[in-house]
Chains A and B, each alone.
Chain A
Amino acid sequence: MVHDKTIPSRIFDIVNYTLLLIIGLVTILPFLHVIAGSFTTVAELAQKRFVLFPTEWSLDAYRYIFSTNTIFKSLGVSVGVTFFGTMFSMLLTCLMAYGLSRKDLDGRNFIMFMVVFTMLFSGGMIPTFLVVKELGMIDTYAALIVPTAINAFNLIIMRNFFQNLPEGLEESAKIDGAGDWGILFRIVIPLSMPAIATISLFYAVTYWNTYMQAILYLNDGAKWPVQVILRQIVILASGLTADTSSMEDFVRPPEQTVKMAVIVVATLPILCVYPFLQKHFAKGALLGSIKG
């Protein structure tokens, strides 16, 4: 596009750039405020109110939250659930997606319909809870993983990706004597690494952010992932919600800096993978919008 250099157009650009910059800043200022606040002292936060760059650095808040092992433990749970959950989900998703990408498969349309229908209608919270309970998964980490193992949307994205791989590859592998498992693991999966990375990140973020499954299926506070602990400390500690179950470790309402530190701890892993996320997720979101 050739640049339009008239004066109204220049003014348009200046206004547009300024507004966008403001929107961008407003979006991330709360995060910066929380990060900066977590590294400062209670006194400085109280005095200066809006801190973006602490003058008095302090790790007090972090020392406080790591003085008991509640946070450590919940971070461990979250890391474990994210790691094993992503592996498990990817295994199931890839296997099923590859199977469904094979055009010569009898029953393929029926199974696809079965998958798509779950996106439109569901048994809902209580019947699902009863199934999980019947399976003896209440208060197990499996409850955070298995009941949400496959996301139908991700499955369809993967299937579309596999379907678009050149068909000749499989044919020639078959002539070379490879079986279906060999084709999948030695040819299809190595060729699909971009899609696999994208979907893995989708799953990983979902598992890291898991909250609802935990409050539905885990009564045992010792097993809670970091998101639930975060809610206990920041949201419930303000004495807001009617339900104030098991909060042994933080009886006094915590200081602002402490709340901020917990938020940072729960956010940091995502901010660390964010550069990768952004690149892949934008692609993934578009893949998903071209439904097959």
Chain B
Amino acid sequence: MSETAVSTGMNPDVDVKPPKQDSGRMKRIIKNRAIYMMILPGFLYFLIFKYIPMSGLVIAFQDYQAFLGVMNSPWVGFKHFERLFTEPMFFTILSNTLILFMMNLLFYFPVPIILALMLNEVRREVFKRFIQTMVYIPHFMSWVIIVSISFVMLSMDRGIINELLAMMGFEKINFLMSSDWFRPMYVLQVIWREAGWGTIIYLAAMAAIDPGLYEASRIDGASRFRQIWHITLPSIRSVIVVLLILKIGDVLELGFEHVYLLLNSMNREVAEIFDTYVYTAGLRQGQFSFSTAVGFFKSIIGLIMVMLANWLAKKAGEEGIY
């Protein structure tokens, strides 16, 4: 194993000083054999279900045939990547991804911050906990449930929203089959499911603020808004920055399940993202190599974005995420 230097440097020898470093390490390994046995199942899990698939990415450079296997399928170099970048669908997918990401950033990201600020101003603990109990609920529901409830409420056939529209004299809107309504619907569902849960980390940061600051500002005659602006917000600045950067790192992670559930033939042109495209092209149409290339491209961009975001965080004087 290649970590020799790291591990021997890290661990002070608690046992009898060994004559040579290596025999001491051997002894320790033998002494810890039970510990290795404990790690083994988990280690195998990561090997089989995480690292073998990573090596399976080589089929992006092959014309993979199931009956030939990874070993014998012919190599084709960058053929599938060339196809990806010349496919008109590629730009649709890329722009869909970026637009959904921007909408998330603009309309979802501030919501938990505002909600946390509001909750933080509540002094009655019972009331605060009551509200928290309500807004956390959707987070535990699967996307299937969230989307199903939305469908029941938005459907043309006696959905409550359309009934209300009709009652107020408007025309019914076919939200579910409309390419115009897909994006607002997507973002609203993200807000509904995650905004409450998203407050937790901000509330924790706010709980650490010294109450003396508020006392002092109150004596100086600061209003509640000024307190929020000059005390609470600056105190959670670093948390906001870190979460923002994490979000940027996740630019391509828009949630396969969520989008896939909303996707239909009428909104495909605005709703198709990398994950849904990989699923359709790969598992539905059996283009294993091409869809692996698409997924590979996505993973690489994701990795670069995470590293870039982390570097930015450190640049901004914040602690990195790893």
For chain A, the bracket of interface size reads 35 or more
Question: Which parts of A103-133 form the interface with B (CB within 8 Å)?
Answer: 103-111, 114-116, 118, 120-131
**A124 near B53 (CB under 8 angstroms)?**
yes
Q: Whose C-beta in chain A lies nearest to the C-beta of B306?
A: A120
Contacts of A20 in B (CB 8 A): 118-119, 122, 127, 131
Q: Which of B41, B53, B152, B266 contacts A256 (CB 8 A)?
A: B152
Q: Whose C-beta in chain A lies nearest to the C-beta of B266?
A: A240
Q: Which of B25, B152, B321 contacts A260 (CB 8 A)?
A: B152
Q: Is residue B90 contacting chain A, with contact meaning CB distance below 8 A?
A: no
- Could you tell me the distance between the alpha carbons of A46 and B1 in the complex, rounded to whole angstroms? 69
Question: Which parts of A134-183 form the interface with B (CB within 8 Å)?
Answer: 135, 146-150, 155, 179-181
- Could you tell me the distance between the alpha carbons of A148 and B155 in the complex, rounded to whole angstroms? 34
With contacts A20-B122, A95-B42, A286-B201 taken as known, whether A205 is within 8 angstroms of B32 at the C-beta atoms is no
- 5 intermolecular pairs with C-beta atoms under 8 Å apart: A12-B121, A49-B164, A105-B35, A124-B53, A216-B283
- Could you tell me the distance between the alpha carbons of A50 and B160 in the complex, rounded to whole angstroms? 6
> Besides A123-B57, A235-B147, 18 other CB < 8 A contacts?
A1-B215, A9-B223, A17-B122, A17-B127, A34-B149, A96-B43, A120-B306, A123-B53, A125-B278, A126-B288, A128-B56, A130-B56, A180-B34, A209-B142, A234-B151, A238-B151, A238-B157, A262-B148
Q: Is residue A68 contacting chain B, with contact meaning CB distance below 8 A?
A: no
Contacts of B55 in A (CB 8 A): 123, 127
Q: Is residue B291 contacting chain A, with contact meaning CB distance below 8 A?
A: yes
Q: Whose C-beta in chain B lies nearest to the C-beta of A21?
A: B131
Contacts of A262 in B (CB 8 A): 148
Contacts of B264 in A (CB 8 A): 240-242
With contacts A27-B137, A179-B34 taken as known, whether A127 is within 8 angstroms of B43 at the C-beta atoms is no
* Mask: chain A, 224-251; 1 = CB below 8 Å from B; 0 = not: 0001101100110010111100000000
**A24 near B223 (CB under 8 angstroms)?**
no
Q: Is residue A186 contacting chain B, with contact meaning CB distance below 8 A?
A: no
Minimal beta-carbon separation of A220 from chain B (angstroms):
15
**A126 near B295 (CB under 8 angstroms)?**
yes
Q: Which of B8, B36, B53, B266 contacts A122 (CB 8 A)?
A: B53
Interface of B is mostly: helix
- Could you tell me the distance between the alpha carbons of A270 and B131 in the complex, rounded to whole angstroms? 19
Q: Whose C-beta in chain A lies nearest to the C-beta of B53?
A: A123
Question: Which parts of B135-175 form the interface with A (CB within 8 Å)?
Answer: 135-138, 140-145, 147-153, 155, 157-160, 163-164, 167
Selecting from A55-63, A190-198, A274-282, the interface stretch reads A274-282
Question: Which parts of B218-238 form the interface with A (CB within 8 Å)?
Answer: 218, 223-225
Q: Which of B56, B157, B224 contacts A12 (CB 8 A)?
A: B224
With contacts A33-B160, A286-B200 taken as known, whether A23 is within 8 angstroms of B115 at the C-beta atoms is yes
With contacts A129-B283, A211-B142, A230-B144 taken as known, whether A242 is within 8 angstroms of B278 at the C-beta atoms is no
**B160 near A235 (CB under 8 angstroms)?**
no
- Could you tell me the distance between the alpha carbons of A98 and B144 in the complex, rounded to whole angstroms? 35
- Could you tell me the distance between the alpha carbons of A115 and B284 in the complex, rounded to whole angstroms? 31
Minimal beta-carbon separation of B300 from chain A (angstroms):
8
Q: Is residue B311 contacting chain A, with contact meaning CB distance below 8 A?
A: no
Q: Which of B192, B257, B266, B278 contacts A124 (CB 8 A)?
A: B278
Contacts of A1 in B (CB 8 A): 123, 211, 214-215
- Could you tell me the distance between the alpha carbons of A103 and B28 in the complex, rounded to whole angstroms? 12
Contacts of B145 in A (CB 8 A): 209, 227, 230, 263, 266-267
Contacts of A120 in B (CB 8 A): 302-303, 306-307
Q: Is residue B71 contacting chain A, with contact meaning CB distance below 8 A?
A: no
With contacts A8-B224, A118-B46, A123-B50 taken as known, whether A235 is within 8 angstroms of B261 at the C-beta atoms is yes
Q: Is residue B322 contacting chain A, with contact meaning CB distance below 8 A?
A: yes
Contacts of A8 in B (CB 8 A): 223-224
Contacts of B261 in A (CB 8 A): 231, 235
Q: Is residue A291 contacting chain B, with contact meaning CB distance below 8 A?
A: yes
For chain B, the bracket of interface size reads 35 or more
Q: Is residue B91 contacting chain A, with contact meaning CB distance below 8 A?
A: no
**A102 near B321 (CB under 8 angstroms)?**
no
**A150 near B45 (CB under 8 angstroms)?**
yes
With contacts A106-B11, A211-B144, A286-B204 taken as known, whether A23 is within 8 angstroms of B283 at the C-beta atoms is no
**A100 near B282 (CB under 8 angstroms)?**
no
**B136 near A278 (CB under 8 angstroms)?**
yes
Minimal beta-carbon separation of A261 from chain B (angstroms):
11
With contacts A49-B164, A289-B201 taken as known, whether A181 is within 8 angstroms of B49 at the C-beta atoms is no
**A270 near B140 (CB under 8 angstroms)?**
yes
**B158 near A16 (CB under 8 angstroms)?**
no
Q: Is residue B292 contacting chain A, with contact meaning CB distance below 8 A?
A: yes
- Could you tell me the distance between the alpha carbons of A100 and B57 in the complex, rounded to whole angstroms? 29
**A267 near B141 (CB under 8 angstroms)?**
yes
* Mask: chain B, 23-61; 1 = CB below 8 Å from A; 0 = not: 001001100101110110111011011111111110100
- Could you tell me the distance between the alpha carbons of A53 and B131 in the complex, rounded to whole angstroms? 21
Q: Which of B122, B167, B266 contacts A16 (CB 8 A)?
A: B122
